[in-house]
Structure 1
């Protein structure tokens, strides 16, 4: 009996150890992280105050400059402008708050004064903020919306673009995106560790390497400044979890452009068609089994990290569905209500220059006469954009329509892959469409506008494109879209809203070629009708819609920071 009792006690002891030890380790690690966070906060507290004081000083200097300019202008213009004082200027140094207590539509019922009074620091983690792509448009539009809602708040951007100062950066933002920001309340904090998130640094296990590398960069960011609210706008979810571990009282938010890993990526390992991304069919053999297991384990880690985030926004229904699956609470049913939690992320479509395009480009029977048989592809020259699929489908199509002029444009891509571009030109030569194909590298916005106004068809061939800003630009400009039948274009953009088709979807090169032919063969009246339907559809993706939905979610983080 004694031996049995001892055995029972040993089993109970081992069971208790197995249950309690992980919890104890978790508690100890939590205390360690909080201790490190407290040290970082103590060291950077004075910088927090300095950043605020510097912003207020720049604000006063700007106002003084504006007052002098106004006085000088009044002296020149004479008494005819004696009523000028009755009009409050909203010039380049001033942001009007469009979300007053009458019209802000705030779900919380906060008054405009309460919203305006928040004067904390929102940290935006975006190490490549000078890249000039769609993700950067989201960042700067988010900064503009934040400044409009909370004029006293300071937007601190963590960036690795050391070659650009604030004045040059804001000038580029205005030139590239037509977004004007209030300079005193924008602060650039320069990271020295950005190299740790470059994919080129990790030839193997790239996903894990970049994710762990982002922790190094995030630590670098926090040693520069601990913000009152921390938002990642590039997709580095691990940085948000680190912020929560170090500073539990700092609210964190994520704007997810693309899940780091998805169930579609896992499924692509077994794809036999070869069209599901660059890892299509890579699940064969022992290397394929290792890759599958590695991705499965990483997906679990990614899901655990994502559940630490307070507010989650996704750029499309496709992205939200994957995040809901990966980040949703374990053993709980995921909701699709879109309340901004990890289990139910809010869909906030990225801002697109819809208003500018619609005001610049006419779509009617008269403008149809100026459209040329040009097929336009606006995309960064990267492997996942699948330019070879477009070129091969154009080879098939151009056999019957030799007059068609395909144009492949890369719009202000800051880091072009010259080798990849060379290989695409070589492929066009091998397919015997070199003379009909135009490559535009680092195309300016005026050049893109020119092509959008004269082209007839817009194409996007990326498998599982997370959203597809270029597709929305096609629609707003009146092009007939031919997109890959997957991801954001299928779920949100090239959809029938009840009054007819807004474009074509395809998967294979044969289907793309057939869609090009069908689009260009439409009767003129139907072409105009489809262009106009697509243009109406694009109204769902304006800057105003993005700002409204962005503020609905960020307002939750601001409330948390107040508490």
Structure 2
């Protein structure tokens, strides 16, 4: 009798209030979502009608006089694009709105290449759907963004069915806004930005392509009938990050937080990170479709998110969708043979945004060690070319400090900085350089490394993450490049790559190019559409009345 009394008491005092609170929160979220959807309905109808009008105008101009943009759109058509158009005609179209959460869409990095290639593939598969990008890039309009997409990535989008919703709260996801508790601060800040986004437009499908998983949980809370998808470039936190707190913060440079886990302050930081990892795991369980850009990222996301996703009946398997790389274009335009070898320079090329995690100082120190290793003949004297986009003042200051470091290391005459390069500029350097460099520890994938391989460069990459596990691997019983961790290891690898004999140099270049064919834009488009089809099917299941 006593036991029954205890059980009933626990139920009445603990379980029942918890269930009541859960129901109240869920219904409260749905009510708030209903209000937001109703408030933004007019903007939704305006965007859809504007897209329909622009589409008719483009079709009319093409029929009457030949629209140059449409001609370029068709010229850029790949076999994958034709297949997707055929699939659309065969399996039926879908006319809803897909919202892409990408507040820095004009940054010009590898993550942005994924975004634009994803939108192009979506446009091909569902020509009557509308792709909306939530962005904070107020200084550029739609035409300027699409022009940069074409210049930087050679990706041609269909303007009528892509549009932009401009956010006013992007500062809340900047690391500078959260000097302390940055991981948690940016994640909570992303909720503010996502709430801003939803109050401007509620999509039919919501996809995060920047790694702000908390936004997807908010979408699920407010709009349970909106399927959610995530393309994860890099886990916000990982077991490697937790382990790095105890690492020596020496040349290996195991992340910007290496060695900060010691002492009382370090113990507090570890406890905070572990708690955040649990919260991040719970958030990941709310996502319906999850794509990762590499095997490394998939392994970490599975470890963090799979336990929580087991309770989500809508969750699908976490899938690797390698990022799109302009492999076919580079193979077509850059030769790798005896003749082309004569035009190669002894240059080392590093394509990466000027961000702290890209570890440019490590590469500068390694290059200085290489230059000091011997007396170089004038015709064999290497150069280091650093190409990257500059997003803001912080990046600009970082480039300035790197220039100062090159001067201090006495290599300023051998180092060239190229900021915000166009795609033709990048392509020219891929044709001329000999070595491709990657310096980031646990780089999630490494689009630039695949571009090196496709162009026939010999890669020297960090012995971690995607470049090691997925890209620079042995092929046909031979290497496609080199791995390194410390400045000395990088310097040694640079020297070894530059001193390969003529035949072996060409052999490595050809193996690297063959390896790059695993990462084509066509492969990405096919896999991306396969995952988005899951979201479209889920949307239709949640709206059997035929509404989008």
**TM-score w.r.t. length of structure 1:** 0.89
- Whole-angstrom CA distance in 1 between matches of 2:57 and 2:432: 46
CA drift of 1:15 comes to 5.3
C-alpha RMSD of the superposition? 2.6
Residue 345 (str. 1) matches residue 345 (str. 2)? no
Q: Which residue in the other structure is 1:82 paired with?
A: none
- Relative contact order, CA 8 A, sep 6+: which one is greater? 2
Counterpart pick for 1:283 among 261, 269, 272 = 261
CA distance in 1, matches of 2:374, 2:419: 25
CA spacing shift, 1:270–1:420, aligned 2, 3 Å: same
Q: How does 1:178-327 map to 2 (within 5 A)?
A: 178-272=154-248, 274=250, 275-327=253-305
Instruction: Name 1:77's counterpart in structure 2.
Output: none
Q: Which runs of 5+ in 1 are unaligned?
A: 74-88, 334-339
Q: CA deviation at 1:45?
A: 2.3
Q: Does 1:534 align with 2:512?
A: yes
> 1:17-73 CA deviation, whole Å, 9 max, x = no partner?
223333322221111101100111122223322221221111122222223315x99
Cα-to-partner distance string for 1:112-136 (whole Å, 9 max, x where unaligned): 4364421111111111111111111
Aligned equivalent of 1:472: 450
User: Once the 2 structures are TM-superposed, how far is the Cα of residue 90 of structure 1 from its aligned partner?
Assistant: 6.4
Residues 1:414 and 2:394 aligned together: no
DSSP 3-state at the match of 2:429:
helix
Contact 1:90 1:96 in 2 (8 A): no
- Number of aligned pairs? 531
Looking at structure 2, the residues matched to 332 and 144 of structure 1 have their Cα atoms a distance apart, in angstroms, of 32
Aligned match of 2:14 = 18
Structure whose CA Rg is larger: 1
| SS of alignment partner, residue 497 of structure 1 | coil
CA distance in 1, matches of 2:390, 2:404: 21
| Alpha-carbon distance in 1 for matches of 2:240, 2:385 | 27
Deviating above 6 A after TM superposition, structure 1's stretches of 4 or more consecutive aligned residues are 93-100
Quickly say closer, same or farther: Cα 1:530–1:93, change in 2 above 3 A: closer
Question: Is the contact between residue 378 and residue 470 of structure 1 (CA under 8 Å) also seen in structure 2?
Answer: yes
Cα deviation digits, residues 234-261 of structure 1 (max 9, x gap) = 1110111111111101111000111111
What secondary structure sits across from 1:443 in the alignment?
coil
SS in 2 for 1:139: helix
Any idea what SS the aligned residue of 1:253 has?
Answer: strand
Contact 2:297–2:444 (Cα < 8 Å) also in 1: yes
Cα 1:16–1:98 shift into 2, 3 Å: farther
Within 2, Cα distance between the matches of 1:270 and 1:491? 24
Three-state SS of the structure 2 residue aligned to 1:329 is: helix
Give SS of 2:420's match.
Answer: strand
Structure 2 partner of 1:30: 26
Match of 1:395 in 2: 368
In the other structure, the counterpart of 2:461 is 483
Residue 411 of structure 2: aligned partner: 433
Q: Are 2:331 and 1:371 aligned? A: no
Select 1:166's aligned residue among 135, 138, 142. Answer: 142
Tell me the distance in 2 between the aligned counterparts of 1:170 and 1:520.
39
Structure 1 match to 2:531 = 553
**How far apart are 1:184 and its partner, in Å?**
1.0
User: In the alignment, which residue of structure 2 is the partner of 1:91?
Assistant: 71
Deviation readout 1:419-464 (Å, 9 max, x if unpaired)? 3222222222222222322222233322222222121111111100
* 1:264-294 superposed Cα distances (whole Å, 9 cap, x missing partner): 1000001025321111110011111111011
